Amino acid sequence: MQQRSGFHLLHFILSFFVAAHPLLLTQDLVEICTFESTMGQIQYSEKYFDDTFEYRHVVLPPEVAKLLPKNRLLSESEWRAMGVQQSRGWVHYAVHRPEPHIMLFRRPLNYQQNQEAQAHQSLLAK
């Protein structure tokens, strides 16, 4: 996975939050600046499966978790802006209310293989 430099990542995160919340207070910006140092503290589970989906959960550090919206799931651009890094296709599908700092993700089984096969087919069609 491509790694961004600390400066570029911090700029990306700040741009996202300022665009989404133009009235942020200075203290909020200071808290957001701590994301760079907390990204290494984000923990990723191994994948687990059922007949339809593969799943994983992501444990956020408290500094990041306190900024999660309480009543909705995050879009891919939102969870990526918070520092969660994973391959394409993952969807934030549920919140575990007793532990809101744990984000639950899923994607269809064989998502990556299907995407590669579709890309190959589109190249052959040209």
pLDDT, tens digit, 9 for 90 and up, residues 108-121: 998 887 777 777 67
pLDDT at 105: 98
Whole-number pLDDT of residue 123: 75
What CATH number belongs to 41-125?
3.30.170.10
- Which residue ranges in the chain fall short of pLDDT 50? 1-5, 7, 24-27, 29-30, 33
* φ, ψ at 56 (rounded to 5°): -160, 160
Can you count the helices (H) and strands (E) in the chain? 6, 5
The answer to whether the CB of 90 falls within 8 A of the CB of 56 is: yes
Angle, helix 26-33 to helix 6-20, in steps of 10 degrees: 140
**Report field, pTM of the whole predicted structure over 0.75:** no
Residues forming a β-bridge with 104: 57, 94
Q: What pLDDT sits at residue 3?
A: 46
Query: What's the confidence (pLDDT) of residue 85?
Result: 95
- Please provide residue 2's backbone torsions phi and psi, each rounded to the nearest 5 degrees: -70, 130
The pLDDT value recorded for residue 36 is 55
Q: How far apart are CA 104 and CA 91, in angstroms?
A: 8
What is the per-residue pLDDT for 80? 94
